[in-house]
């Protein structure tokens, strides 16, 4: 659908395709993967934000615990588009009580654009941030945050097609 048919950039269609893709990859790799997963509202950070729903969460089938939390977002060249998603990943990691879970930020772009400041995004996770209501969300200096860029192109028919997926922000 996304690579051959092409899709319109309407509503949350591209977002839905990205979330579905990430969840399908998790399942293909043998995890119990689920989309739109609410993190438990427990512990010291239960009052930060009303709800933390991750776009995709992968669970280890044997240990029955979270191993990856993912967000998928449009990126048009503005860092402020991605920072809230990184904060969501950080908060979800705390709420799941899985400091060793991998955090994945996948962002889609129409063509190749100037890449975001991946180190700056990592700094949010490692250093923490000020949450709504003034509650400090602590960082996780050992957090592993990885990035993938989904590059789409508009065809002559005006439809978007997924052209490539790149691993970004290696450090």
User: Beta-carbon neighbour count of residue 111 at 10 Å?
Assistant: 9
- CA–CA–CA angle 34, 36, 42 (5° rounding): 95
Per-residue pLDDT of the chain (171 residues; tens, 9 = 90+): 889 999 998 878 999 999 999 999 999 999 999 999 999 988 778 887 778 999 999 999 999 999 999 999 999 988 888 999 999 999 999 999 999 999 999 999 998 888 999 999 999 999 999 987 788 999 999 999 999 999 999 999 999 999 999 999 886
Pick from 107, 106, 110: nearest CA to 154: 110
This prediction's pTM: 0.93
| Distance, CA of 122 to CA of 169 (rounded, Å) | 9
User: Contact at 8 Å (CB) between 84 and 105?
Assistant: no
Helices vs. strands in the chain: H and E counts, helices first: 3, 8
């Amino acid at each position: 659908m996304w690579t051959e048919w092409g899709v319109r950039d309407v509503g949350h269609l591209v977002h839905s395709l990205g979330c579905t893709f990430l969840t399908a990859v998790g399942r293909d790799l043998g995890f119990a993967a689920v989309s739109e997963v609410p993190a438990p509202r427990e512990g010291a950070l239960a009052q930060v934000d009303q709800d933390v729903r991750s776009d995709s969460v992968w669970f280890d089938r044997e240990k029955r615990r979270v191993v990856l939390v993912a967000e998928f977002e449009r990126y048009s060249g503005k860092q402020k588009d991605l920072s809230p998603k990184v904060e969501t990943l950080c908060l979800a990691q705390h709420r799941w009580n899985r400091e060793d879970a991998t955090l994945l930020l996948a962002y889609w772009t129409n063509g190749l654009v100037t890449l975001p400041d991946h180190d700056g995004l990592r700094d949010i996770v490692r250093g923490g941030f000020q949450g709504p209501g003034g509650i400090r969300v602590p960082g996780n200096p050992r957090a592993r945050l990885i990035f993938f860029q989904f590059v789409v192109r508009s065809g002559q028919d005006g439809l978007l097609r997924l052209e490539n997926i790149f691993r970004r922000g290696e450090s």
